[in-house]
Structures are given as C-alpha cells and as structure tokens.
C-alpha cells in the first residue's frame, strides 16, 4: 500500500457509493473515538438529509456493500455501522505495519508530491532604521516555517524579505541625522536606534517637521543625490543588524529586496493600468476602484499615486509584483504579514485581477495575530514599548536558565538553540490567525506543550538508539504488542494527514501540534515498554525500528518548524 490510509479508504468508499447510487464524494477522517475505531466516515448524515432517509439505514447499506466488495481484504479487522449513522473502520495489524514499513523505506515518509511550482514567499518585512521588535517575530517564524514546508513538497521557493526601506521613517531619520550634523560615514546602529524614536516622537508633536520629513522622503524617492547617499548608508547599517537577528533566528532569505527596488517597475505598472483604462483621477490622486457589488463591507479604492505625486505602500507592492513576474514568473506569491493588513492585500489582489495577472499567478495573504503579554494585551516592556527582539531573546534565555539549575551547564550554542525552540514552539503551536500570550516561564519548561519538551523527548529516544547501536536494516514484523504500542503506530500513520493539511492551509500549527502528540505517545510508549533488557529479540528489533522511525519524523518536523536540535540537554 502506498497511500494515506484515509485516501485508501475513500477510494474504496467511492466505488461503494457509486454502486449504491449515492451522490457523494466520501471524506474519511481520523476517529474522534479512538477507543471505538481508527477511522470514521460520517457521510450517511448528509446523504440522509438529501435523500430523506434514515442515516443509520444508509450507513448499514454502505457497510454491507463495502464488506461484499472488499470481503477478502486483509486491511480491516472491523467495518461497522453504528447508530445514529457512523461507519467505523478498524485497521488490521498487517495493514498498519505494511504502511509503516512503506513510510520507513520511502523518501519523506511516502507523502504524495504535488506538481512542482515556482512560489515566491514574502515575509519578514522589517523596516530599515527601526529596530526589530516583537511585532516582527511572527512574520519571521511563521514565514520561515511555511517556506520550509513548501520546499519539502518539492516546490521551487524564493523567499524575499521585502524591506520597508522607502517609507516616511527614512525621511525622518535623514532629517534627524542632518540636524545633529552626523555625517554619513559616522552612522552606526546605536545612532539609528536613538534617532528613530526621537524623530517619530517629534513628528507626532510638530506638523511642520513632519511636512519637511515627508518632503525629504519624496525627494529621496525622486532621486535626490544627497538623500540617496544617506539612504544607502542607512540601509547598509540597519540591514546588517537585521541580518544579525535573522541569523540568530535561523531565518534566511534568497532576496534582500525592498520597496526601493520596485521603483523602476512603477512605470510598467502604470502603463498596464492605463492600457486597461483602470486609473481614475480623484481629488488630484490616481486611484483604482476595486469594490465589488457582492462585498459585505465597503472596500475603498486602491490609491496608486497621491495628489502630491508620492507613491504609497500599495504602489510599491504592485510594482514589486511586476518585478517578480518579470524575474521569476511564479505560479504563486504568498505574503506573511499581520492580519490587520488584510484590506490592503484584498485591494492589491483585486487590482491584479483587473489586470488579468491572477490568470497565471495566484496570490495569498497569510495573516497572523498578535503576540500578547501575560495581561492579554500586546506584549510590552516595563517602559511600555514593544520589546526589541534582542530583549525578548535575553528574557527567554534567563527564564530557561532559571527553570532548572542544570541548564547553566549547557554551552552557548545549545542555549541559543533552546531560546529559539522556546520562542518558535510557543508561537507555532497556535493557529497563526490567533493571538497568543507569550509566557517565557511556561514555555521554558521541559514539561508541557513546549519546545524543550519536544527536544528532550527527541534526545531521550535518540540516546536509546545510540546505546543499542541500532542500524535500520530490517522491516517491522506483523505483530503489535500492546495498547501504547498500537497508539504510537497509529500516531505515526497520522503524519501524512498532518503534513498535507498544514501544507494546503499554510498552518504550521498543525505540524507543531502533531509533533507534540507524537512526543506524548512516544513518552508513554517508552515508559511502558522497557527496551534495554528485553530478551525477545524480535520484539526488541520491532520497537527499535519504531523508535528510529519516530526520531526521523521528529527531526524532519522540527526542521519544518525552523527548530534545531541541541547536542545535549
């Protein structure tokens, strides 16, 4: 057998339903009553509604036909219609072990690969001259994980950090530097970290300065040489610091483009818009209507150019799409940003639709929620500002060191791996669209749904395999020895479902939660089944094979979540 087990049952069910003339494409799910069965089919309920028949009668008919058509398969030990209309499937040991052996021997655990596509993923999105803070964390973590999952499925994936490098903050910082007589060569990250908050505060109080800063930004965009020289240096200094943080997070980009790189493509975008007569004058600005009659909420027009001639966030995003299509002609472009940018992306994608771009390129906005503090409000430092990422790393490291005196003996490299694991697993276990509370103490513990728990489990099992000098050559036999053993095997069978689901929904949380459940099963298995002194050679071999397969799965899943493995804990 070379298939996900649910697909395998679905294929058989399709034939059964056809034979019975039932109009339904069957969907089989992992049982939510594992004490009763392994997989279940609930389609009788919708059929019952449609055909005005009793659901239990339908499930009985399907079951009877299934048994008739597949009477001699050795895959199920039980197929049963249960009131009020469920159909329950229980797999045979032979079936379970056959799939496990196939997973063990195949590349990437035998998942089915989709047709290869070129996909651009735009995440990170930091703004230069501003320090990275907690608000930038999720885009980096979630984006990196989605990128790795897409690559795992064989796609050609190009990642772009898409720096915010041509916005108002640049004009503000240039003004601040000039007014303090700081020359270009003297610019350092410390100076930038000081000037930006000062200027952004000043601009909030003083409209005159704000106008000057806006003008500097506009002149910079129009090519003013002095400002360009400042810009190049600011981008270099700030870019180096951003890179340092991403390196720490093991987050990597193929392209370090920014809004400024899109400027040469603005004309191309404008020509295309003009050719389709999409641009409209409105109070001096150039806009595009993107509302549709079926919209439930009013969607304002997309602004291409402001009345003072300035371009906006949307303009550079549109121009960037032209750039990306010319350079890579991708089938998909994905954006990982804060959910609150939802409307911006709806407008942008609508413009692409009107331009006919969406015929060959699909767009997805993958939004995420907020990182909150213990009070349930957006995470803040004692000073009331969003903590810089450096501060968050330090806080997490301290929490981990305090959680167990033994942790202080870990080397620095391993400690940094743990800090990453704590932060990333805390984040990725939550559906990206939900807010979550970051509690460094709770997530540092080796007990509970945490990064350290997963890593500890992995190292514990990997240790056993090393001690036993295990080399994987044999296949699993047909035996399953006890309940926890069977539960572990069934959890491994769920891998493909979890992977496929996280791939299609772009939700790394599915994988994170699967990984946690696998570790819970593994620990239960290990505590109940002592391997070291086993005399039954066949049993010992089977169990080592199982542990080895589990270790390989954990390793790959951790990689997909962007989490590295320490040498020891």
Contact residues for ligand ARG, defined by CB under 6 A? 122, 125, 127, 162, 164, 317, 335, 337
Residue 283, phi then psi, degrees to nearest 5:
50, 45
Complex with ligand ARG: residue 57 or 358, whichever CB lies closer: 358
CB closer to ligand ARG out of 125 and 562 = 125
Which class for 302: exposed (0-12), middle (13-18), buried (19 or more C-beta within 10 A)? Answer: buried
Question: Judged by CB, which is closer to ligand ARG: 127, or 420?
Answer: 127
Tokens 């919209």 found at: 295
Q: How far is the CB of 469 from ligand ARG (least distance, A)?
A: 50
DSSP 388: B
Please tell me the total number of residues recorded for the chain in this structure. 569
Cα Rg of the chain, angstroms: 28
CB of residue 241 to ligand ARG, shortest distance in Å: 16
Helices and strands per DSSP (H, E), number in the chain: 20, 13
Strands 332-338 and 362-368: parallel
- Most distant pair of Cα atoms in the chain: their distance: 88
Give strand pairing partners of 378: 372
- Is the CB of 147 or the CB of 162 nearer to ligand ARG? 162
For residue 467, the SS3 value is helix
Residue of 498, 543, 540, 497 lying closest to 522 (CA atoms): 543
What gap in Å lies between CA 70 and CA 49, rounded to an integer? 27
Nearest to 357 by CA among 296, 275, 294, 261: 275
Contact between 150 and 254 (Cβ < 8 Å): no
- Are the C-beta atoms of residues 153 and 113 closer than 8 Å to each other? yes
Query: Which residue is it, tokens 């549109």?
Result: 318
As a whole number of angstroms, the distance between CA 47 and CA 42 comes to 10
Please state the closest distance from residue 337 (CB atom) to ligand ARG, in A: 5
Task: Rank residues 81 and 357 by Cβ distance to ligand ARG and give the closer one.
Answer: 357
76 vs 304 by CB, closer to ligand ARG? 304
Report the chain's terminal Cα–Cα distance, integer Å. Answer: 39
Q: How many CA atoms lie within 13 A of 23 on its CB side?
A: 3
**Residue 121, helix vs strand vs coil:** strand
Q: Which is nearer to ligand ARG, 306 or 442 (CB)?
A: 306
Here the tokens at position 75 are 């895959």
> How near is the Cβ of 333 to ligand ARG at its closest, in Å?
9
Cβ-count burial of 422 within 10 angstroms (0-12 exposed, 13-18 middle, 19+ buried)?
buried
Q: Alpha-carbon distance 547 to 557, whole Å?
A: 15
By Cβ distance, which residue is nearest to ligand ARG? 125
Three-state secondary structure of 280-309: EEECCEEEECCCCCCCCCCCCCEEEECCCC
Cβ 300 to ligand ARG shortest distance, Å: 17
The smaller minimum CB distance to ligand ARG, of residues 91 and 237, is found at 237
DSSP per residue, 140-181: HHHHHHHHHHHHHTT-EEEEE--BB-SSHHHHHHHHHHHHTT
Between 125 and 330, name the residue whose CB sits nearer to ligand ARG. 125
Write down the least CB distance from residue 114 to ligand ARG, Å: 25
**Rounded Cα distance, 366 and 462, in Å:** 35
Q: For residues 426 and 450, is the Cβ–Cβ distance under 8 A?
A: yes
Cα–Cα distances in angstroms (integers) from residue 125 to residues 159, 164, 248, 535, in the given order: 11, 6, 17, 57
CB of 364 to ligand ARG, least distance (A): 12
Specify the residue, 17 or 119, whose C-beta has the smaller distance to ligand ARG.
119
Q: How far is the CB of 153 from ligand ARG (least distance, A)?
A: 23
Q: What angle do CA 281, 287, 291 make, to 5 degrees?
A: 125
Say if CB 318 and CB 272 are below 8 A apart.
no
Count of CB atoms situated within 10 Å of the CB of 257: 19
Residue 453 DSSP SS3: helix
Q: How far is the CB of 380 from ligand ARG (least distance, A)?
A: 18
β partners of residue 90:
78
Considering the complex, state which of residue 338 and residue 487 has its C-beta at the smaller distance from ligand ARG. 338
Closest approach, Cβ 339 to ligand ARG, in A, equals: 12
Return the number of the residue (240 or 340) whose C-beta is nearest ligand ARG: 340
Nearer to ligand ARG, 30 or 299 (CB): 299
Instruction: State the nearest-atom distance from the C-beta of 122 to ligand ARG, in Å.
Output: 5
Smallest distance from the beta carbon of 557 to ligand ARG, in angstroms?
Answer: 27
| Residue among 164 and 367 whose Cβ is closer to ligand ARG | 164
What is the closest distance, in whole angstroms, from the C-beta atom of residue 164 to ligand ARG in the complex? 3
Give the shortest CB-125-to-ligand ARG separation in angstroms: 3
Residue closer to ligand ARG, measured from CB, 91 or 132 = 132
Least distance from C-beta 359 to ligand ARG, angstroms?
A: 21
């Amino acid at each position: 057998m070379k298939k996900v087990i649910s697909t395998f049952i679905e294929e058989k069910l399709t034939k059964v339903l056809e034979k019975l003339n039932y109009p339904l494409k069957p969907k089989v799910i992992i049982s939510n009553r594992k004490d009763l069965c392994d997989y279940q089919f609930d389609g009788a309920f919708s059929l019952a509604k449609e055909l005005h028949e009793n659901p239990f009668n339908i499930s009985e008919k399907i079951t009877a036909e299934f048994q008739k058509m597949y009477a001699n398969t050795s895959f199920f030990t039980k197929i049963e219609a249960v009131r009020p209309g469920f159909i329950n499937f229980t797999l045979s040991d032979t079936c379970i072990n056959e799939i496990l052996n196939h997973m063990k021997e195949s590349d990437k655990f035998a998942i089915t690969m989709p047709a290869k596509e070129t996909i651009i993923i735009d995440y990170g999105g930091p703004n230069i001259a501003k320090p990275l803070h907690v608000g930038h964390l999720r885009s980096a973590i979630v984006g990196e994980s989605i990128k790795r999952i897409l690559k795992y499925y064989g796609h050609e994936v190009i990642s772009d950090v898409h720096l915010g490098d041509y916005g108002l903050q640049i004009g503000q910082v240039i003004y601040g530097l000039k007014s303090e007589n700081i020359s270009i060569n003297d610019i350092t990250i410390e100076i930038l970290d000081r000037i930006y908050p000062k200027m952004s505060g000043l601009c909030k109080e003083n409209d005159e300065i704000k106008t000057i800063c806006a003008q500097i930004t506009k002149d910079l965009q129009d090519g003013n040489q002095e400002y360009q020289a400042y810009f190049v240096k600011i981008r270099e200094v700030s870019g180096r610091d951003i890179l340092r943080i991403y390196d720490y997070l093991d987050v990597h980009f193929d392209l370090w483009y920014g809004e400024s790189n899109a400027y040469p493509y603005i004309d191309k975008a404008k020509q295309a818009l003009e050719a389709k007569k999409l641009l409209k004058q409105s109070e001096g600005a150039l806009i595009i209507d993107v509302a549709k009659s079926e919209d439930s909420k009013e969607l304002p027009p997309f602004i291409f150019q402001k009345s003072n001639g300035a371009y906006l966030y949307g303009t550079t995003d549109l121009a960037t799409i032209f750039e990306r299509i010319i350079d890579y002609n991708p089938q998909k472009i994905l954006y990982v940003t804060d959910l609150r940018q939802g409307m911006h992306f709806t407008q942008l994608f609508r413009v692409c639709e009107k331009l006919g771009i969406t015929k060959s390129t699909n767009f997805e906005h993958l939004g995420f929620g907020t990182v909150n503090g213990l009070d349930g409000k957006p995470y803040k430092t004692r000073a009331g500002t969003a903590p810089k990422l450096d501060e968050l790393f330090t806080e997490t490291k301290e929490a981990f060191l305090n959680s167990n005196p033994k942790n202080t003996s870990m080397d620095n490299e391993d400690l940094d791996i743990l800090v990453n694991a704590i932060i990333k697993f805390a984040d990725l276990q939550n559906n990206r669209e939900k807010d979550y509370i970051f509690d460094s103490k709770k997530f540092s513990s080796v007990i509970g749904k945490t990064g350290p728990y997963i890593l500890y489990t992995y190292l514990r099992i990997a240790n056993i395999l090393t001690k036993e000098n295990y080399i994987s050559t044999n296949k699993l036999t047909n035996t399953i020895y006890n309940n926890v053993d069977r539960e572990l095997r069934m959890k491994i069978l769920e891998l493909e479902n979890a992977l496929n689901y996280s791939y299609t929904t772009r939700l790394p949380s599915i994988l994170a939660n699967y990984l946690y459940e696998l570790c819970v099963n593994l620990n239960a298995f290990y505590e109940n089944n002592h391997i070291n002194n086993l005399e039954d050679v066949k049993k010992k071999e089977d169990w080592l094979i199982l542990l080895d397969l589990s270790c390989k799965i954990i390793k790959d899943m951790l990689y997909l979540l962007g989490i590295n493995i320490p040498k020891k804990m």
